[in-house]
Structure 1
Amino acid sequence: MKNRTYNKKKIMIVFFAAVIMIIALLGRMIFLMIFDAEYYQKRAKELHERERKIKAARGEILDRNGVVLATNKTVCTISVIHNQIKNKEQTIQMLSKELGLEEAYVRKRVEKISSMEKIKTNVEKEVGDRIRNLDLDGVKVDEDFKRYYPYGELASQVLGFTGGDNQGIIGLEVKYEEYLKGVNGTILTMTDARGIELEGVAEDRMEPKPGNTLEITMDYNIQSYCEQAAKRVMEEKEADAVAIILMDPQNGEIYAMANVPEFNLNDPFTLSSKIDTSELTDEKKQDLLNQMWRNRCINDTYEPGSTFKAITSAACLEEGVVTVNDTFSCPGYKIVEDRKIRCHKVGGHGLETFTQGIQNSCNPVFMEIGLRLGADKFYDYFQKFGLLKLTNVDLPGEAGTIMHKKEDIGLVELATMTFGQSFQITPIQLLTTISSIINGGTRITPHFGKKVYNSDGKEIKTLTYQKQKEIVSKETSETMKMLLESVVSEGSGHNAYLEGYRIGGKTATSQTLPRSANKYISSFAGFAPANDPKVIGMVIIYNPKGIYYGGTIAAPVLRDIYDNVLPYLEKQEK
C-alpha cells in the first residue's frame, strides 16, 4: 500500500510537471505567433532578402559664373556572391585580368563564404561594362559615383576632396557636407535558403536622391590667374610656398585663394614626385599628406610685420593720439626700456610727418604712437577690431590669433606689436581686418558659400554672413584709404603702382622664428580703387631666396594680378 501511494504521487508529480511544461510551451508559442510575430517575420524576410546600396550623386560645386569645379563621374563596384558562383576558376581569372589585380587577392575574396564580397570599387565604367557583358554567375556590377574635379589642382586646399564613402574630408567639401551629400538608394533581391537569388523575381529598387548644388563666390578665371602668378614667383624666388587671396572688402566674398604648391584633387593621397616615399612609415606619410593639404591662408599663423601698421594706424587715429600732420624724428632706432629697437633704414628717416612715416614704413614712428596709445588701449582695439576671435570663414580648421595676455604686455612687447611682431595671426584675419578698416568701418565675414540649388536647379537657400558695424568711424576709414594710397603712389609700395588705377596698400617683410634661421616672409596687401575699394588682395611669399623685401618682390605680383583682374571685374559689372 505504501509503494502504491508513493508511485501515485510520483505519477501525479510527473503529470503536473508535464502539464505545466505544455502550458508554458503553448504560452510561448502564442506569444511568438501573436505578440512577437512582426519581429520574426522581419527576420525571416531578412534571411531571404539581399540589399545593395546605390550611392547618391553628390551635389556639384560651381563658381560664381556657373563653371563646374567639382562634379561626379560614373564608376562601378564589382562584387561576388559566393553561393552563386558556378565556375570559380574562370571567375577568378577573368576578374583578375579585367581589374588588374593579383589572382591571389581575387581568389581570397571569391572563396570567402559571405553573402556578398566586394572585389574592387571605383572601377571605370568601361571596365564595369565589359565585366557585365561576360555574364559571370555570382558577379555583380553596380554603378556608382566618384567625385571628379575637372581642373585637377585648381583651388585644391579650398575645394577639398571626398573619401571612398563619398563624404567630404577637407575644404568646402566637408564644410558644406549637409548640402552636398545625397541620400543613398537600395536594390533588394530575393534569395532562397541557400542565399541564391531567385530567378523571375523582380528587384525592388529605391532610387537615390542626389545632393544639392553649391554656388561659391570664387571666380575660376581669377583663381587661375592667381595660381599662375603664385607659381611664377615661387619658381623665380625659389620660395617654399606662395599664398594669394583676393576678396571683396565690402561683403567678404572671396574671389580667389591660391596656395602653391597645390595638389591633384583627383589623386589626393599621392605625395609629390619630389618626395622619396620608399622608406616612409605610414605615420610619416600621413604627416606629409596633412602638410600638403594645409591651407596656409587660414590654417597657419605668422608674424604679419609691417602690413599690420595699417591696423596700428587705424587704432591710433580712432583714439586721437596721432594726426596725419604730427611730426616725428627717426634716428634709425628707438630705445624702449633696455632695448634698442631698430628701423629697417639703418641711418634713419630723420624728421618726418605721420603720413611720411607710414609711407616710409618707419618703425620708430609706430613705436611712438603705440606708446602714446598704451598697452591697455592697444589690447582693447585688438578686441574691437575682432583680432582675438576667428573670422568664421567657411572653411574648416581656421587658426586663432596667438597673442600676449593683457597683463603681460610691457613697453617692449607693445613697441614690437605696433609694427607686427611678437604675436601671430592668419593671413585671412589680417586681410579681413584691413578690409573692415577701409570699407567704412564694418567688420565683414570672409566666405565662399553663396547659394544652394536643388537637383532641378531651383534655388533653395541664399547663404548669409554676420557683419559688425562701426569698428572704426567713417572719418578714420577715409583717412586710412588716403594714407594707404600714398604708400603706393609715393612710398614703399610704389612697385604696386598701376597706371590708370588708384591702388592703396602696405608692404611687409617679417622674419620667421627662430630669428637665427634667417628665413623671411615677404608680403603685400593692396586694394583698388583706393577711394572706393571693390577688391582687396594679399600676396605672401614664404622663405624667398635672394632679395626678400615685400615691396620689391610681393608688391609687383599683386600689381600684375590687378592689371588683369581690375579690367575683368569692370567688365563683369557691366
Structure 2
Amino acid sequence: MKESTTRIKANNKFAFILFVFMSVFTIVLGRVIYLKVVHGEEYEAAAKNQQINRYDAVVAANRGSILDRNQQVLAISTAVYNVVLDPLVLSQNKEDAQEKTLTTLCQYFPELDYTTLKEYITVNPATGKINLPNHWKYLVKGVDRSLKEELEALNLKGIYFEQTSKRSYPLKNLACHLLGFIRGGSQWGIEGQFNDYMVGTPGRSFILYDGANNITYQDYPAQDGDTVITTIDYTIQQYADDIVSQTMEEWPAENISAMVVNPNTGEIYALAESNNFDLNDPSKPPQLETESTFQAQWELKSSAEQLEYLNNMWKNFSISSTYEPGSIYKPLVAAAALEEGVITPETTFYCGGSIDVSGTAIRCHLRSGHGTVNVEEILAQSCNVGIIQIAQRLGAEKIYRYQKEFGFGQKTGIDLPGEEDAANVLHSLSTIGPVELATISFGQSFNCTTIQIVTAFSALINGGNIMKPYVVSQVIAPNGDVVYDKKPEVVRQVISKKTSDYLRIALKATVERGTGKKIDIPGYSIACKTGTAEQGSRTRDDLWALTHMAYFPAENPQYLVMSVIYLPEDYVDGVQSTAPMTKSLIEKIIKYKNLEPTEGTGEAAAQKNQGTVVIPDYVGSSTYDVVTDLDAKGLTYKVVGTGNTITNQVPKAGATVEVGSEMILYVEKSSQDTGKVVVPNVVGKTYSDATSILTAAGFEVVFEGDTDGVVSSQDPKYGVSVEKGGEVKIKLVPQT
C-alpha cells in the first residue's frame, strides 16, 4: 500500500513536471508561430537589412540626356566606376595574388602608394588582425568603362567596381544659361526645371558575407532618367555665342545677349549671354585662366563675395534682369492706337524736334525735327515726338491696359526657373501723368525683361497672339514613351490680325530707309526696330541699354532676333550699336538654312535704294544725332575736325541729293570735350595709312603684327574722345 502511494506521488510529480514542460513548450512554440506568422516578414527584412546595409552600395542612375532639336547632345551622363579594395578578402588570398593586385593597381593608378596599400592588409601583432579589417576602401573614383573592363579581365583579388554616374557637357559653355546645372540645393536652367524627369531611380548592389567569408553578390539595376529634347538649334546657338563673345571683346559691357525665337510658336532657338561659363566646372569663372588681375582679385574675395559673383554669372539675364527697353517699344504703342481706332496708317503728325509736355521739353533724337510724318515714318525714323502724340491720343488708361495685355509686369511662363515679372518697376495707372505717358511711349520710365519684350514683339508680327515661350519640346522615357509633349500655346490675342499685318510690313521701312538700314541684306526681306534707352538715373550719361529687334522674312517671319548691349563701357553716341550683332546673326542663319533670296539682288535691289533725299539743317546738332539720321537716309559721311558739335555742312540744308551721296560734316569741340580728341577709325587701313591718320590726329601709334598687313582692331575704339597725345594700339593681320 505504501509502495502504491509512493508510486502515485511519483506519477503525479512526473505529470506535473510534464505539464509544466508542455505548457512552457506550448507557450514558446506559440510565440515562435506568432512571431513567424504575424511579424515574420518584418523581422526577416530587418535581419536582412542589418546584414545588407553593412556592405551595400547605391548604383547611381544615369541622368537623362539633354538634346537640341536635331538630336545634338548638349548634356549627357555616362556610367563611371569607383575602384574599391576589400582588405579582408585580399588578405585571405595567397601572397602572389596579393602582390599581383597591389602592383597592378599602382601601375594603372600612379597616385596610389604601394606601401600604403600593403599596410592595409598587413597583420598587426598587437591585435592579431590586419590594419584595415573591413570590406570597403575607396581607392580611385570615376574610372571609365573601358578601363574597368580591362582591370576586370585581370581577375584581381579583393577588388570591386562600384558603378556611379558622371554628368558632362561636351560643348562646355554653349547655351550654359539655358542648360543650367544642379549643385547642392541650387538648381539652374533646364537641369533644374526638368530635374524630376531626368533624375532616374538609383539601384542597389549588395555584397553579402557569411561566417565562412563566402561572398554573394546581388544587384538591383538603376533606372536611367528621361531624355529632354529642347527647341535649341545647336548651330544657331553657336553663332549667337560667338557673336556675343566677339562683341564683348570689342565693346565691353555689363552684359551682352542675343536671342533667336520663332515668333509664331514661342520656340527659342538660341539664347546667348556674355557672362558665360563652362558647365563642366561652373564654380570656376573663365577669367581665372585668362586674366591675372582677375585671379588676384578673386583670391582676395571672401567666400560670400565669391558666391555672390557666381550667382550673378549663373543668372539668366534674359529672364531674370530688367531694363528700360527704349524705342523697340514704340511699335507696341502704335499697335494699340491702331487697334483702338484713334489713328490710321495715314494719320500724320508734325515733329519740330521737340514737344512740350506739361512744361517739360522732350526732344527728338533729330534736333531739327522730322517734319510731317505718318505712322510708318514715325517708326522708321524712331521719332519720339511723333510717338508721344500717338500716345496722347491713346490716353493713360489704354496705354496701361495694353501694356498689361502685351504681358509687361507679369511672367511669360517660360519653362525655366528664376523668371522675373518686373511688376514692381512698372507704372500703376494712377502714377501715369502726362510726362510718364510720354516717356512710356518711347520705352522709358518702366522696366521689362528680354523675354517679355520678345514675347510682346512676337505678337506684334504673328497675327496678334501672345505665345508662351518655351525651350523644351519633349521628354522621352528610356523605353521610348513620350512623357511630356509641349505644343505651341496661345495665351491670348492682344491685337487683330489686320493690325499685325500692317505693322509687320510697315517695319520694313526701318531697314529700307530708317534707323535700321545697317542690317539691310540685298535680296532678303528684313524688318526691324532699333532702340537706345537711358537707364535709371537721368543725371548720368553713361547708363544705356542698346537694343535691336529684327525679323525675317518680313512677310512671313520665321526668325525673330533680339540683341542687347546692356550698360556698355565708354559708350559713344553714334558709334556703338547692336546692328552689327543682329546683321551677322541673320547672315549666318540665312547661310545655315540655305534660304533663297526673296527679292532681286541686281537691278531690283539697286532700284530699292534709288531715290532722293532733302538735306536737313544739321548745324548745332550732336554728331550722334546727325550720324544716326544720315544712316537712316542712306547717306554716307565724312567728319572733318574734332568734337561733338556740327558747325557746318556740305551740302547745305535744303539741297536734294541721291541716296548714297556723301555728306561732309565740320565739327568742333564743345565746352565739355575741350582738350580731348576723337579717335579716328583706322580698321581696314594699311599700316602706313593708319599711322599717318593717327599721327596727324595727335596720337602715338603702338602696333602688333606684320606691318605688311591691315588693321583688324584698334584700342581705343573709333569715336572715343581721349586726351590728345595718348597711345592708340592697332593690331595688324595679313591682307586677304
Q: Deviations over 1:458-507 (max 9, x none)?
A: 55543224213431011110121122111111111111111111111110
What TM-score, normalized to structure 2?
0.67
Distance 2:566 2:40 in 1: 70
Q: Distance in 1 between matches of 2:464 and 2:541?
A: 39
Deviation at 1:304, TM superposition (A): 0.4
Structure 1 or 2: larger strand share? 2
Q: 1:8 maps to which residue?
A: none
Distance 1:102 1:82, change over 3 A: closer
Quote the sequence identity (%): 31
Q: Provide, for residues 51-100 of structure 1, a one-character-per-residue CA deviation record: whole Å limited to 9, x for no partner.
A: 21111122222212221121223322345667667499998997899384
How do 1:6-405 residues align onto structure 2 when only pairs under 5 Å count? 32=35, 34-49=37-52, 50-79=55-84, 86=91, 98=109, 100=111, 121-123=141-143, 140-163=160-183, 169-192=187-210, 198-199=214-215, 201=216, 203-272=217-286, 273=288, 274=291, 275-276=294-295, 277-401=298-422, 402-405=425-428
Counterpart in the other structure of 2:523: 500
Deviates more, 1:66-75 or 1:219-228: 66-75
SS in 2 for 1:240: strand
- One-letter amino acid matched to 1:198: N
Tell me by how many angstroms 1:365 deviates: 1.6
User: Does the aligned pair in 2 maintain the 1:92–1:106 contact within 8 Å?
Assistant: no
How far did 1:327 drift?
Answer: 2.4
1:406-555 mapped onto 2 (5 Å cutoff): 406-457=429-480, 459-515=482-538, 516=540, 518-545=542-569, 553-555=577-579
Contact 1:524 1:551 in 2 (8 A): no
8 Å contact from structure 1 (residues 82, 138) kept in 2:
yes
| Structure 1 residue 376: Cα displacement | 1.3
From the superposition, tell whether residues 250 and 465 of structure 1 become closer, same or farther in structure 2 (CA, over 3 Å).
closer
Counting helix residues as a fraction of each chain, which structure ranks higher? 1
Is the CA contact (8 Å cut-off) linking 2:258 and 2:273 kept in structure 1? yes
TM-score, with normalisation over the residues of structure 1?
A: 0.84
Aligned to 2:693: none
Contact preservation (8 Å) 2:106, 2:113 = no
Find runs of 4+ consecutive structure 1 residues off by over 6 angstroms: 25-30, 87-97, 109-115, 129-138
Q: For 1:409 and 1:95, how far apart are their aligned partners in 2? A: 75
Distance 2:537 2:183 in 1: 37
State how far apart, in whole Å, the 2-side matches of 1:441 and 1:424 are.
Answer: 22
In structure 2, runs of 5+ residues without a counterpart are 1-23, 93-97, 122-130, 597-736
Corresponding residue for 1:14?
A: none
CA–CA separation in structure 2 for the residues paired with 1:323 and 1:54:
68
Deviation at 1:32, TM superposition (A): 4.5
What amino acid sits opposite 1:479 in the alignment? Y
Residue equivalent to 2:128 = none
Change (3 A) 1:198 1:336: farther
Does structure 2 retain, via aligned residues, the 8 Å contact 1:244–1:259? yes
CA contact 2:231–2:472 (8 Å) conserved in 1? yes
Provide the C-alpha distance between the structure 2 equivalents of 1:315 and 1:101, rounded to a whole number of angstroms. 72
Distance in 1, Cα, partners of 2:132 & 2:319: 47
Q: Which moved more, 1:175-184 or 1:71-80?
A: 71-80
- Equivalent pair of 2:530/2:547 in contact (CA under 8 Å): yes
Residues of 1 paired with 2:513 and 2:219: CA distance? 71
Q: CA deviation at 1:257?
A: 0.8
Cα distance change, pair 557–43 in 1 and its aligned pair in 2 (3 A): same
Contact in 1 for aligned 2:409/2:448 (Cα 8 Å) = no
Count of residue correspondences: 547
Residues 334 and 375 in structure 2, CA contact (< 8 A), matched pair in contact too: no
In 1: Cα distance, 2:500 partner to 2:572 partner: 30
Contact 1:48 1:192 in 2 (8 A): no
Distance 1:511 1:279, change over 3 A: same
Alignment root-mean-square deviation, CA: 3.7
The one-letter code of the counterpart of 1:409 is: I
1:184/1:548 CA distance change after superposition, 3 Å: farther
Say which is worse superposed, 31-40 or 271-280, in terms of deviation: 31-40
